[in-house]
Amino acid sequence: MRDSFEILLLPGDGIGPEVVGAAREVVDVAVDHFGIEVRYEERRIGGTAIREEGEPVSDETLHAASSSDSVLLGAVGHPDFDDAPVRPEAGLLKLRKHLGAFANLRPVAAIPALLGSSPLKREVVDGVDVLIVRELTGGAYFGEKEEGEERASDLSVYTREEIVRVARVAFEAAKRRKRRVTSVDKANVMATSRLWRKVVSEVAKEYPQVGLDHVLVDAAAMYLIQSPKRFDVMLTENLFGDILSDEAAMLPGSMGMLPSASLGEPGSSGIFEPVHGSAPDIAGEGKANPYATILSAAMMFRHSLGRPDVAEAIEQGVSVALEAHFLTPDLGGKKTTEEVTKAVSRWVAAGEGVA
């Protein structure tokens, strides 16, 4: 196992610097515990990059990303740019495209200590363990665009190759889980979805040990609330996955609990970031929930850096902190970002899951 890594930090906008700072603090404790060396480089992305560098992500930042072992990102977006010709989110899309990060993994699991925080009934949420695999580089987000006062369009395009590669990620993940893939589409009305369904069905033949079912996206949205435990791995195109994963964030009680990994071909730099947005309304107030970013760092060590031992230590630290009721306001608690970070760091350093 490697014991030296270079990590690019992209704090971004709003609460991004706070949660990335929290994750870095926990990572520093974890790598010290395991005798690992980590070197950081920090650069701008999103609104902060537009203000300071004139674009949402610079060529220098893209080069730094591809030269690093992994990227840990905070959040992008700010209302100051709502009507601007270039939005902060364009930086994230460009970064994903540059790194070839085509598969976004978003785990959604019920956390015993937070079952009371979910807006759904305890019996509906208890036991939920879903992995959403979202295609990241195709669809309407990247298609040719037309925007005018009387007409606008976003061209949605998918190729067989794009569908095959992300489908294989989903089926490989299912092999290590409950061996069930649910492919989400809108094949009753969309040509891209009909190709999606056809190609996913073909890929499924490579994995006879994994079951496959197809669900229309509107039905999938309903089932996520009505009976979320029916899902194991959900495979979706870009737009559908963006929407459904935000909906799924309410299962554990807060979007502040959901990490994500954006992965490309083996050997490429992955992007690890919380699912939540930049929340500029609470920036600097110590109310930001750092758990999702800390858990994203754990995913970074597992999926990109090849150190599952570090990942498990960080995840255990999070679990113990939650059981000890270190909860931020979005989870119904009163702990600050700093208090949560110190608690997780303390238990990671102990290495025993106890204070």
Supply the residues annotated as catalytic.
141, 186, 218, 242, 246
61, 49 in Cβ contact below 8 A?
yes
Separation of alpha carbons 319 and 350, rounded Å:
14
The Cα–Cα gap between 45 and 43 comes to 7
Write out the DSSP string of 52-82: HHSSSS-HHHHHHHHHSSEEEEEE---GGGT
Q: How far apart are CA 79 and CA 13, in angstroms?
A: 11
Give Cα separations from 173 to 139, 181, 271, 305 (angstroms). 23, 9, 18, 18
Handedness of CA 328, 272, 95, 54 (dihedral sign): positive
Q: What are phi and psi of 12, to 5 degrees?
A: 80, -135
Q: How many CA atoms lie within 13 A of 199 on its CB side?
A: 22
Beta strand 233-236 with 180-185: parallel, antiparallel or unpaired?
Answer: parallel
